[in-house]
């Protein structure tokens, strides 16, 4: 492993771009490869076993592309696969989890709301997290069914998005929740709608900046932090269709003229092109 190698970042789709933007801001000399597994999105309604297989295939693919570390920019994949991947592969992984701990620390009412996928809520990792950090705190959960497909389709302000979030957040507000966690990396892209419903009095926690900081810490620990002798950049790859992906990347990251590549699943293995 050396400092010049890229960092692999993956999500089921475009959600992890909300993490990538913080990674790029905090680690500007790093080269990233961002893989959106849009051939399988959404992960949130799939079994843990399936998500483990996808995550293993993506890890092997990234190793072929010579990455030095992997950031799982997906709460659902981290919940299902992170601990197993760490056992099976030697390169460093950074994962995500809903920010239950900071929410439990900062709530005044003792009531917090978590928006995440059904897969994340059903995981043993999430159960451990709430058992450990949310004792004495009431946790209101909502899986926001249908929200990830809307965001994947580029509909960030549609009536469906408003309806899903209204249904999720209104009972939380009525119950007196005073802190809300975005526990899925897609959701920061509908932050204006969430803010419109919650108003300014309810803080919203997006763990992406902390994940980017943690990535820097892990790279430094392994002596793998890029030293500035190279310029940073991103290679964008999707297992779905190239054209809508390029459009989404440009729109969500405020870029233009982005080139994207496709990767194809053959059983549990992933390879570039077709
Ligand atoms: N963005 C993902 C997460 O953070 C997964 C969304 C999905 O594919 O359901 O959980």
The two tokens of residue 191 are 């932050």
* Residue 126 CB less than 6 A away from ligand 1: no
Mutate to test the pocket of ligand 1, among 12, 116, 123, 129 (most ligand atoms within 8 A of CB): 12
Any catalytic annotation for residue 184?
yes
Cα 117 to Cα 183: distance, rounded to the nearest angstrom: 8
Mean pLDDT score, 165-183: 97
Is the model's pLDDT at 46 over the cut of 80?
yes
Give yes or no for residue 182 having a pLDDT over 60: yes
Question: pLDDT tens digits, residue range 97-108?
Answer: 999 999 999 999
Choose which residue among 116, 148, 164 to substitute to test ligand 1 binding: the one with the highest number of ligand atoms within 8 A of its C-beta.
148
Looking at domain 100-206, which of 3.40.50.1860, 3.40.50.170, 3.40.50.1970, 3.40.50.2000 is its CATH number? Answer: 3.40.50.1860
* β-strands 93-94, 69-72 pairing: parallel
Total-model pTM: 0.97
Q: So what's the pLDDT on residue 48? A: 96
Write the CATH number of the domain with boundaries 7-96+209-273. 3.40.50.1860
pLDDT in tens, 33-44: 999 999 999 999
pLDDT at 274: 54
Mean pLDDT to the nearest integer, 223-235: 90
Query: How many angstroms is it from 3 CA to the middle of ligand 1?
Result: 29
Residue 273, pLDDT > 80, answer no
Label residue 133 exposed, middle or buried (CB < 10 Å: 0-12, 13-18, 19+): middle
The answer to whether the bond into 42 is cis (omega within 30° of 0) is yes
pLDDT at residue 194, rounded to an integer: 98
Give the Cβ contact number of residue 54 at 10 Å.
24
> What is the structure's pLDDT at 227?
87
With cut-offs at 50, 70 and 90, classify the pLDDT of residue 230.
confident
Cβ of 12 less than 6 Å from ligand 1: yes
Give the CA dihedral 23, 25, 26, 30, nearest 10 degrees. Answer: 60
From-to residues of CATH 3.40.50.1860 in the chain? 7-96+209-273, 100-206
* Per-residue pLDDT at 178: 97
Q: What is the pLDDT of residue 201?
A: 87
Q: How confident is the prediction for the chain on average, in pLDDT?
A: 96
């Amino acid at each position: 492993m050396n400092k010049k190698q890229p960092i692999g970042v993956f999500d089921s789709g475009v959600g992890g771009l909300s993490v990538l933007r913080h990674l790029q801001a905090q680690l500007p000399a790093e080269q990233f490869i961002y893989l959106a597994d849009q051939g399988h999105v959404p992960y949130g309604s799939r079994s843990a076993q399936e998500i483990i297989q996808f995550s293993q295939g993506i890890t092997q693919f990234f190793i072929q592309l010579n990455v030095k570390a992997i950031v799982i920019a997906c709460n659902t994949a981290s919940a299902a696969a992170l601990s197993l991947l760490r056992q099976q592969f030697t390169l460093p992984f950074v994962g995500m989890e809903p920010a239950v701990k900071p929410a439990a620390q900062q709530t005044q009412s003792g009531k917090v709301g978590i928006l995440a996928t059904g897969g994340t809520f059903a995981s043993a990792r999430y159960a451990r997290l709430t058992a450990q950090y949310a004792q004495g705190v009431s946790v209101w959960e909502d899986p926001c069914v249908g929200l990830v497909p809307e965001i994947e389709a580029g509909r960030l302000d549609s009536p469906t998005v408003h309806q899903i979030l209204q249904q999720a957040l209104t009972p939380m507000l009525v119950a007196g929740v005073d802190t809300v966690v975005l526990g899925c990396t897609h959701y920061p892209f509908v932050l204006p709608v969430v803010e419109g419903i919650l108003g300014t009095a309810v803080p919203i926690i997006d763990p992406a900046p902390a994940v980017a900081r943690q990535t820097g810490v892990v790279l430094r620990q392994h002596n793998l932090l890029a030293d500035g002798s190279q310029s940073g950049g991103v290679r964008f790859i999707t297992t779905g269709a190239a054209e809508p992906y390029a459009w989404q990347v440009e729109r969500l990251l405020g870029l233009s003229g982005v080139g994207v590549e496709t990767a194809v699943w053959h059983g549990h293995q992933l390879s570039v092109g077709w």
